[in-house]
Structure 1
């Protein structure tokens, strides 16, 4: 096997040809685009089940029926609107002031009391629920894992090829720089794309479920007021509040929701 020169390696990485085609891509109708899929549904479900068990063992589950009924009420409506009824859905409120919520690919939903207490209406709950279920419909967890796998395999090939050259010190430095480039240039931008896609899908699910999409803007405006000294968007997996809200307004206008 002929060793590639450094210039060829860098050109190949920039063009994406260093990522091995070890598996096919899949078309996602909800997103209207093709996705890289290197992880199987069964693997994803297994990992999700493990993560859920660890979460319910680590966190304190709320026994307040009012919180549980609220989450269940909104969750079931959004699930029906999203068409993701094939999953075994479970809605759990964690008794913590943490301002967070998440949904696993297997349909297990975790909302913290801290974020529910900030939600003045069911429309606000539907905003976050729709967004999180949008990640499932978008198959974002599988895609992100596939991107990370591809980036790691591609980086390993590049580093190996570089270290085969005589200038080992230079190769090590370049390999480290490529590692940062793969992270900031490939993985994180896709994560921000996922967030925008989940926002758009979430808005659509809110409308289909009978909730007011304008209250999604109200909720994110209120949330943005609580962010102090946040990370720069360039180095973050989430869009800035300003850009997120602008994108949602644009989507709602294009759909005729406002």
Structure 2
């Protein structure tokens, strides 16, 4: 029996062609994966496809959106306090630090965030939980650690790998769309935009450790980080509040902080010997 083939190609040739194309695509994806490998500050292998300058553009636009959505706290005393703590932290980043924009938002939720491109947002509600400058430093250092560890890039790359052709710049400038909300979640702003895309527990643990060392190098008391998490737990009424909802369990976090505390205390002593004694207030 003769089977009509309108393309004029033999079925076996078509199968061979399909196999060949699959191999090419596989080689392309493998090449992209190898070229996108990076290393976190703690030595963990990461998958990253997004250029850092594009992540900075996304972060800057997201911050503009936040300033349009949330009222900004105009209290000179509060702003001076928060900026003092934040600047003490980012000074320790060195050549990669640059200038960071810091804003205090009038929002009762105990939350804070940092974005690629040097943006830090602090909700006024966090000041009721972070009861002194060292505890506030633990919060801000944790969020800055997410940026230093390029966790947003890591998550954005994973999304791009699954959704080809995503225009991230267009998405981030229009957060009301489904894609825009997804990209806001990638940057750690999911709760504010009604979509939950939290950092993974591994990323949260990484930010805890990197942030602990960062605050210690700035001259803040790293032991206050443990008190901060206890305050957070109490503020949640026995349940993790928004800021902690994706973290490891409280017991695991305390254990990890204590394991890294000897090094943090050593960094703190070195910082004090260099005259790093922040006096921001509260």
**So what's the TM-score if we normalise by structure 1?**
0.72
Does residue 225 (structure 1) correspond to residue 258 (structure 2)? The answer is no
CA distances 1:116-175 after superposition (whole Å, capped 9, x unpaired): 12222100110001101111110111011112333456xxxxxxxxxxxxxxxxxxxxxx
Report the 3-state secondary structure (helix = DSSP H, G, I; strand = E; otherwise coil) of the residue aligned with 1:27: strand
Q: Which residue of 2 aligns with 1:240?
A: 249
- Tell whether the 8 Å contact from 1:37 to 1:142 is kept in structure 2 after alignment: yes
Aligned residues of 1:144 and 1:191 also touching (Cα < 8 A):
no
What is the aligned length?
A: 207
Unaligned stretches of 5+ residues in structure 2: 1-14, 20-25, 165-196, 267-282
**What's the secondary structure of 1:143's corresponding residue?**
helix
Counterpart of 2:207 in structure 1 is 198
Q: Report the CA distance shift for 1:66/1:152 in structure 2 as closer, same or farther (over 3 A).
A: same
CA distance in 1: counterparts of 2:255 and 2:229, whole angstroms: 11
Cα deviations by residue, 1:85-123 (Å, 9 ceiling, x for unpaired):
543311110112121100111111110111012222100
Compare CA radii of gyration and give the structure with the larger one: 2
Q: 1:256 to 1:123 in 2, by over 3 A?
A: closer
Which runs of 5 or more structure 1 residues have no equivalent in the other structure?
Answer: 5-16, 154-187
Contact 1:20 1:150 in 2 (8 A): no
SS of the aligned residue for 1:69 comes to helix
Question: What value does the CA root-mean-square deviation take over the aligned residues?
Answer: 2.8
Q: Please say if 1:252 is aligned against 2:261.
A: yes
Farther-moved stretch of structure 1 (21-30 vs 129-138)? 21-30
Q: Partners of 2:154 and 2:124 in 1: how far apart? A: 30
Query: 1:218, CA displacement in angstroms?
Result: 0.5
Deviation string 1:178-217 (CA, Å, 9 cap, x unpaired) is xxxxxxxxxx897111111111011101111111111000
Residue in structure 2 matched with residue 114 of structure 1 by the alignment: 125
C-alpha distance in structure 2 between counterparts of 1:238 and 1:19, whole Å: 35
Corresponding residue SS for 1:125: helix
